[in-house]
Amino acid sequence: MDTTTEDMDTTTEHGVRTVETRDELDDVLATADRVLAMVRTSGCTICKSMEPILDIAAKATDATVVVFNPKRDLDAVDAFDVRSVPTFLLFADGELIDRRADGFVPAEELIEFVESGSESDA
């Protein structure tokens, strides 16, 4: 049984959840008003370094924060037009309203990104 951190379905102490399929992500989108999803791969060192930042964003905002490793559902990569990792997808009421794909994002910037979506009329 493979029990590496990157492959486990886990939830951190601040509520960051790992999902691995589009169906799992859709379940989260159906139940949360605002969702920040970080699309990552297991070998991405920048993605790994973003994990504590995601915890900070989860604690500082009311968004549901998920880490999405689409290795079992590559169609999601096309559906969300993911070209690099990490890619941050911001959803409101189940709809994609914004994205970032510019590498490491400091906590303050990520929080601003999430909060800017709460004020949009998207």
Question: What is the 3-state secondary structure of 19-87?
Answer: ECCHHHHHHHHHHCCEEEEEECCCCCHHHHHHHHHHHHHHHHCCCEEEEECHHHCCHHHHHCCCCCCCE
Q: What is the pLDDT of residue 118?
A: 58
CA distances from 40 to 6, 18, 118, 119 (A): 10, 10, 24, 26
Token pair, residue 112, equals: 């601003």
Mean pLDDT of the chain: 88
Using 50, 70 and 90 to split pLDDT, how confident is the model at 20?
A: confident
Using 50, 70 and 90 to split pLDDT, how confident is the model at 117?
A: confident
Domain positions in the chain: 8-118
Whether residue 94 has pLDDT greater than 70 = yes
Whether residue 11 has pLDDT greater than 70 = no
Arithmetic mean of pLDDT, 39-50: 96
8-118: CATH number: 3.40.30.10
Q: What is the pLDDT of residue 106?
A: 98
